[in-house]
Structure 1
Amino acid sequence: MAADFSQLAPILQGGLIVSCQAPVDSPMHEPSVIAAIAQASVNQGAVGVRIDTPAHVKAVRQRISAPIIGLWKQVIPGFEVYITPQFHHAAAIAAAGADIIAIDATPRRRPGEETLESLIEQIHSQLGKPVMADVDTLESAIAAAKAGADMVGTTLFGYTPKTNHLTPPGFELLTQLVHTLDAFIICEGGIASPAMARHALQLGADAVVVGTAITGIDLQVKAYCAELRSANH
């Protein structure tokens, strides 16, 4: 079962991918709610969506035909890797209807016997799905591309020990990826306005993922309320 990204690349090229996710403790964290958000996004022109958990991917798949980048965040004690850390997580996401599997592609220690290379190879050969490598640095991106990742995203810039002193969006990292890799490059993380999304494309990104600024009601409201409280003191 070969993974074929050539059919999906033209659909995603130059477009907006909306990350439709919500904190686990949020009332928004309901499959039907996430599916409605995903459908609204596609209705308004999004070329694809990025969805967490098998239940949410399944619900979204029933509502849209646009490409789904699926992932499954798992907190495993003793390991920092949490975006689709193991093959069985990827298999569940694929079975739920995802077109592309997103994985943590940083060099951090992984649970089980799997390596980044073996995980990507298994997703390609056993699931027949392309892989989006979520990276934090140029070194991680080069390793992910060498391991066979079809797409490379700046998703984890600012969220790993090597980069947590930096603030997304990682436009500098994006520029490095564009100039270094022969892969489909996605800018994800910290895109807070349409103008920033456009800038990412101008820097050479093949597509842009936006989450919190569009779908993050919990975080957005929290930020507004914090700002208003500070003004009242």
Structure 2
Amino acid sequence: MDNFSVSKALRVDQFTALKGGLVVSCQAPTGTAIDTPAFISAQAQTVVQAGAIGIRAQGIENVRAIKKLVDVPVIGLVKRYLDTSAVYITPLLDDVLELEQAGAEIVAIDATQRLRPNGVTFERFMEQIREKTDLAILADVDSIESALLAQSLGCDAIATTLSGYTEIAAPELPNLKLVAELVAKLKIPVVAEGGYHEREQVAQAFKVGA
């Protein structure tokens, strides 16, 4: 098996470990009293103790603090609200590399077809990532079209995070219809995310194949 195949297999393993379990997003509103690595990492530790099998967290220092307390996979991201681009979930290559250094096993990126800062296309962004790292990449999408492109470019899993948050309207949240469509059409894992607030909604997502 060549090096590419080995690295791809290792990335697949990251998502296989999450299949059928609950990944909890541990975040806090920016600038609030609880927006600290100490609080976010304690929150992550608490939900892992309660049965979560993975954590999604925003911010380099938050990811670093969480990795000191838990041994489950961490999906890291950086939110940057820039005047030059509508993309705010991990829009820069440096964000990806710093999240990897902080200990994130998986990095979530905006995988919509909107331009990143400096006019960088999603296709070019994935090229930049793969030139620097074999880290597992979770593609946050808004549509089946974005998901199919992300799969073709080598993303390792798809999340419905941005459904309803771009110019492409969603019928309702959570968008279970999109989850089911992605499961039917993709060959990579699908993570149901966005608008899940009730136990029944989570159960429905698992039922359609997330």
TM-score (structure 2 length as normaliser): 0.92
Which of these residues, 3, 20, 29, is aligned with residue 26 of structure 2? 20
Q: How many residues align?
A: 204
Q: Which residue does the alignment assign to 1:191?
A: 196
| Offset, 1:119 | 2.5
Unaligned runs of 5+ in 1: 206-233
* Contact 2:12–2:156 (CA under 8 A) maintained in structure 1: no
Give the AA of the match of 2:205.
Answer: A
* 1:153-180 deviations in Å (ceiling 9; x for gaps): 00001111112x6432011111110111
The 2-side partners of 1:100 and 1:121 are apart by 17
Identity between Structure 1 and Structure 2 (%): 37
Q: Which residue does the alignment assign to 1:209?
A: none
* Contact 1:20–1:50 (CA under 8 A) maintained in structure 2: yes
Alignment of 1:65-144 (within 5 A): 65-112=71-118, 114-144=120-150
Q: Does 1:177 align with 2:162?
A: no
* 1:186-217 deviations in Å (ceiling 9; x for gaps): 00011111121111000111xxxxxxxxxxxx
| Offset, 1:113 | 5.5
Give the AA of the match of 1:95.
Answer: Q
* Contact 1:124–1:130 (CA under 8 A) maintained in structure 2: no
Higher relative contact order (CA 8 A, sep 6+): 1
Give the AA of the match of 1:59.
Answer: A
The 2-side partners of 1:62 and 1:113 are apart by 36
* Contact 1:138–1:173 (CA under 8 A) maintained in structure 2: yes
Q: Does 1:59 align with 2:44?
A: no
Alignment of 1:147-186 (within 5 A): 147-163=153-169, 166-186=171-191
Q: Which residue does the alignment assign to 2:39?
A: 33
* Contact 1:17–1:48 (CA under 8 A) maintained in structure 2: yes
| Offset, 1:125 | 4.5
| Offset, 1:115 | 2.8
* 1:3-47 deviations in Å (ceiling 9; x for gaps): 522322231010000000011022111101000010111111111
Which of these residues, 185, 198, 205, is aligned with residue 200 of structure 1? 205
* Contact 2:100–2:107 (CA under 8 A) maintained in structure 1: yes
The 1-side partners of 2:44 and 2:55 are apart by 7
Q: Name the SS for the 2:75 alignment partner.
A: strand
* Contact 1:133–1:151 (CA under 8 A) maintained in structure 2: yes
* Contact 2:80–2:90 (CA under 8 A) maintained in structure 1: yes
The 1-side partners of 2:97 and 2:15 are apart by 22
